[in-house]
Structure 1
Amino acid sequence: MKHILLFTSIIFLVSCGEKLIEQPENLIARDEMVLILKDMAIVNAAKTTNIGILKDNGIDPTTYVLNKYNVDSTRFVDSDRYYASVPLAYESIYKEVESLLDEEKERLKDLKKINDSLKLLQREEKDLLKAGGVQKPTNTKNVPQ
């Protein structure tokens, strides 16, 4: 029984090390693949929330992203299939995509906070002007008297 288990384990390990798919001649570089997948995730998220806007402007999200990177769909599919055949590489690609999306999310949150703060200041300034007739201060630095 031990021999059968050992034999099965060896066969399994050898088969896991086999290349299931040969690397395509026109493989998209890993770093570029990460960027393409990140952009596809963003555009597909937009597609689920603003499909009408995309349709009105004649934009196909997948085609848009592939054109941005000057990659045709066949090359993308071949590269994606190849990376998927190497599970550890594919997992690391998607972890990097997730990390980039998280960074983008934080950057947009920060921009929204800044934008909200500016709008609040403008509203307060407008309210002050209406309430008391207070004029906006002018910059008097470096103005000859």
Structure 2
Amino acid sequence: MKKYIGTILLVLLCISCAEKLIEKPDNLIPKDKMVMILKDMAIVNAAKGTNLGKLKDNGIEPTTFIFEKYEIDSAQFVDSDRYYASLPLEYESLYKQVEAGLEQQREEVEAAKKVKDSLNLLKNSPKNREAVEN
């Protein structure tokens, strides 16, 4: 009898966990586009922390800029974010993709910086100065 009660409780637990908390919105942002939006928002939030004055001086509202770039509105973003957040495994997958994209972009920027630094070092080396002066 105890086996049956345990089995029934386990089945009920599984069924209740599979229940969707939030219905899929009609205007759901696709996952790949959502990843790009979240990545850009992470970059913009970092920029706001360091260069908020420059953004204001140029009349740029970062969140509005992102919504216009991806042709979405704030309600669509909130609905989509809430829906994905109600599916923890998918939400985690989205953020892992965002993290991977940010890491890849960081590596590309660092590689470009190394090339630029190397060129500047070569340009400013004593041999090149002599060649330019002669």
TM-score above 0.5, yes or no:
yes
| Rounded Cα–Cα distance in structure 2 between residues aligned with 1:17 and 1:11 | 10
Relative contact order, higher structure (CA 8 A, sep 6+): 2
Distance 1:116 1:19, change over 3 A: same
More helix by share: 2
Task: Give the equivalent residue in structure 2 for 1:117.
Answer: 118
Task: Give the equivalent residue in structure 2 for 1:32.
Answer: 33
| Rounded Cα–Cα distance in structure 1 between residues aligned with 2:127 and 2:21 | 66
Larger Rg: 1
Task: Give the equivalent residue in structure 2 for 1:94.
Answer: 95
User: How many residues are paired up?
Assistant: 133
SS in 1 for 2:27: coil
Q: Residue by residue, what CA displacement relative to the aligned partner does 1:42-88 show, whole Å, maximum 9, x if unpaired?
A: 11111111111112122221111111001100001001111111111
Stretch deviating more after TM superposition (55-64 or 93-102): 55-64
Q: Which amino acid is the alignment partner of residue 62 of structure 1?
A: T
| Rounded Cα–Cα distance in structure 2 between residues aligned with 1:15 and 1:58 | 49
Distance 1:126 1:51, change over 3 A: farther
Question: Counterparts in 2 of 1:99-110, with a 5 A limit?
Answer: 99-110=100-111
Segments of structure 1 that go 5 or more residues without pairing to the other structure are 136-145
TM-fit CA distance, 1:10: 2.5
Segments of structure 2 that go 5 or more residues without pairing to the other structure are none
Give % identity: 55
